[in-house]
Structure 1
Amino acid sequence: MSKTTSALAARRSFLSLGLAAALAPLGLARAARGPTIEVWKDENCGCCGAWVEHMRAAGFEATVHDVADLQAIKAANGVPASLQSCHTARVGGYVVEGHVPAADVRRLLAERPRARGLAVPGMPPSSPGMDIPGTPYEVVLFGTSGNDRVWARH
């Protein structure tokens, strides 16, 4: 191998290593991202926006769709009328209805029960996004092969 060829090979190796070092943080950033959650809400709902921020603060990557007809979204996702709230989301193949805490969604994704998803019916004042402490509420696991059941109490 000539000196010129050897110098070019060394230079290419150096540039390759430099490029790999420069791109490594991008790969780590992608790997560090949390689950992606897709949310459908009314554009004028402030508490829904606050819930999305709660999920982002917990590491979820949120995509938000402002829609006029939430009932169509709820029906398409099999959310029973008795469990409905002000927004509907999908994450990891599950439905998340209403102000479900991020920790409960993470548990759902870790345990992977046979169910359609989780719901916090209505709009409990102390749930994430509402943030008025003092009112207990329940998170319901729904669409199970048996009966719906309480997943968590807050």
Structure 2
Amino acid sequence: MISKGNLLAGVFTAVLGASALTLPAHAEGEKDVTLYKSPSCGCCTAWGDALDKAGFNVIVKKTDDLYRVKQQVGVPENLEACHTAIVDGYVLEGHVPLDAVNRMLTERPDIKGLSVPGMPMGSLGMGEPDEDTQYTVFALPKVVGSKPAVYQKVGN
């Protein structure tokens, strides 16, 4: 029987060719982050740099077709942001804070990943947070069409 991870990896390879998404399903790839971003996006670069400084191995894949990447990993339109990343089989959509990424990798919840929709000011990669910084980190549900849950609130 083909596992869901192997099936998804095969679909990604077929659709995206040589720059296919890889979804490792084991802890040894835990610190590898593949970041899909627009070639010209500075805030995406800043987010990736912050993860790199925190000890992650960030592999940047520049693409002009982020919509296709988001479709392939199942990011709902209402939770989309400017970049998409993959870490240890989880999707990270947008400016997800480091503490949320680390918590997810430690707790291993049964979710598709995390999303910070849009580009909230003060989020990781979007300038320095201040007393007005407020945004929500959502858990991406595994079941298409399911309502996303609040994973973490920042500044609330």
Same fold (TM over 0.5): yes
Is the contact made by 1:34 and 1:59 (CA closer than 8 Å) also made in structure 2?
no
Q: What does 1:2-151 correspond to in 2, within 5 Å?
A: 35-133=31-129, 134-144=132-142, 147-151=147-151
Give the superposition deviation at 1:147: 3.7
SS of residue paired to 1:54: helix
Equivalent AA in structure 1 for residue 133 of structure 2: T
Q: Which runs of 4+ in 1 moved over 2 A?
A: 132-135, 144-147
Is the contact made by 1:41 and 1:66 (CA closer than 8 Å) also made in structure 2?
yes
Q: Counterpart of 2:152? A: 152
Distance 2:112 2:30 in 1: 21
Give the superposition deviation at 1:141: 0.5
SS of residue paired to 1:79: coil
Equivalent AA in structure 2 for residue 152 of structure 1: Q
SS of residue paired to 2:85: strand
Distance 2:100 2:133 in 1: 18
Distance 1:148 1:129 in 2: 23
Give the superposition deviation at 1:144: 4.4
Paired residues, number: 122
Q: Which runs of 5+ in 2 are unaligned?
A: 1-28
Q: Which runs of 5+ in 1 are unaligned?
A: 1-32
Is the contact made by 2:30 and 2:105 (CA closer than 8 Å) also made in structure 1?
no
SS of residue paired to 2:50: helix
Once the two structures are superposed, what CA deviation does each residue of 1:1-60 show, in whole Å capped at 9, x if it has no partner?
A: xxxxxxxxxxxxxxxxxxxxxxxxxxxxxxxx9700000000100000000011111111
Give the superposition deviation at 1:102: 1.4
Give the superposition deviation at 1:135: 2.4
Is the contact made by 2:80 and 2:93 (CA closer than 8 Å) also made in structure 1?
yes
Equivalent AA in structure 2 for residue 77 of structure 1: V
Is the contact made by 1:36 and 1:91 (CA closer than 8 Å) also made in structure 2?
yes
The alignment-based identity, stated in percent, is 43
Q: Which moved more, 1:61-70 or 1:136-145?
A: 136-145
Distance 1:115 1:138 in 2: 16
Is the contact made by 1:50 and 1:129 (CA closer than 8 Å) also made in structure 2?
yes
Give the superposition deviation at 1:143: 1.2
Give the superposition deviation at 1:148: 1.6
Which of the two has higher C-alpha Rg? 1
Which has the larger share of helix?
1
